[in-house]
């Protein structure tokens, strides 16, 4: 809802002659809060919104782009990707201690396989437990003492005005985020030309190039949004560079690669890097994970 109101504000400034009303749609992912995210179907947070779009019940859908599958239903398109918010992961602890100062055995909550893998790669002495619920619920569980720390996306906390609870921002040079983390994807119907023109006014070309590379990588890997794949791309002039890694769930194995291309070749960059990571050992890591499911 916060992200929907954010986009509503963007459109009010860019296209003030048009009224934009936010409508809440509860998805299956919202309802199944007791199940681990890694066990839920890909697209579980977006499918109801896409169906409403295709039926003409809504005109646009606002998604966290990292939750949107790379395969878009026929008839729909990502009409705009606004400027990206902070892509980093953050640590929130009960006592304000940074990740490095947590005692061995401390319980860290996350619903992400990627974050679990990266955390254990840094601190194999910590205990990682499943954490579901919206941001307020997760913070409440932390304060109640059920966890010593939680890991979350900076963008979500900042958009909710909760920046003050953040203990530590995890640096991008040693902790890569999920592909497209921090970016919003605005989905609309193909052929709705007038609406697409309006929405296109809030598209940010640099962000689109970066997340195109990251999502192309994810598609090439054949991994859903819950796989232990991390990636971050950035632009410099007309070039886009990207760092990416695949990490085993216990954190003991990891393959990483960095590369660059022109912004016009962002999708191609993602495909090339996916092939390289798989060949370097990423395919074996992913096969072991699937075999243990």
Catalytic residue numbers, as ranges: 67
**What are the residues whose beta carbons fall under 8 Å from the beta carbon of 16, sequence distance 6 or more?**
none
- Would you state the torsion angle of the CA atoms of residues 204, 205, 209, 210, taken in this order, to the nearest 10 degrees? -40
Residue 230, CB-side half-sphere exposure with 13 Å CA sphere: 26
Q: How many angstroms separate the CA atoms of 169 and 176, rounded?
A: 12
Distances (CA, A) of 191 to 56, 58, 76, 188: 13, 15, 9, 9
Q: ∠ CA(51), CA(221), CA(204), 5° rounding? A: 60
**What are the residues whose beta carbons fall under 8 Å from the beta carbon of 95, sequence distance 6 or more?**
none
Q: Report whether 225 contacts 40 (CB < 8 A).
A: no
């Amino acid at each position: 809802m916060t992200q929907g109101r954010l986009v509503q504000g963007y459109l009010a400034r860019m296209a003030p002659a048009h009224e934009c009303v936010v409508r809440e749609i509860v998805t299956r992912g919202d309802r199944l809060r007791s199940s681990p995210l890694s066990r839920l179907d890909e697209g579980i947070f977006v499918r109801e919104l896409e169906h409403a779009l295709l039926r003409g019940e809504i005109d646009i859908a606002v998604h966290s782009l990292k939750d949107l599958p790379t395969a878009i239903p026929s008839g729909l398109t990502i009409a705009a990707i606004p400027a990206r918010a902070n892509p980093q992961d953050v640590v929130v602890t009960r006592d304000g201690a940074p990740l490095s100062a947590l005692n061995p055995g401390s319980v860290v909550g996350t619903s992400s396989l990627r974050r679990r893998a990266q955390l254990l790669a840094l601190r194999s002495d910590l205990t990682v437990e499943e954490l579901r619920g919206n941001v307020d619920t997760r913070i409440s569980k932390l304060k109640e003492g059920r966890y010593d720390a939680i890991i979350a996306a900076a963008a979500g906390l900042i958009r909710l005005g909760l920046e003050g609870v953040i203990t530590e921002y995890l640096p991008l040079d040693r902790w890569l985020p999920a592909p497209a983390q921090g970016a919003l994807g605005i989905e609309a119907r193909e052929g709705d030309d007038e609406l697409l023109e309006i929405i296109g006014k809030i598209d940010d070309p640099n962000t689109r190039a970066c997340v195109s590379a990251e999502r192309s990588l994810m598609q090439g890997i054949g991994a859903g949004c819950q796989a232990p794949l991390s990636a971050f791309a950035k632009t410099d002039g007309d070039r886009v560079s990207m760092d990416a890694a695949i990490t085993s769930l216990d954190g003991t194995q990891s393959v990483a690669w960095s590369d660059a291309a022109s912004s016009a070749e962002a999708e191609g960059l993602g495909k090339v890097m996916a092939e390289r990571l798989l060949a370097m050992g990423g395919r074996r890591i992913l096969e072991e994970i699937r075999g243990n499911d």
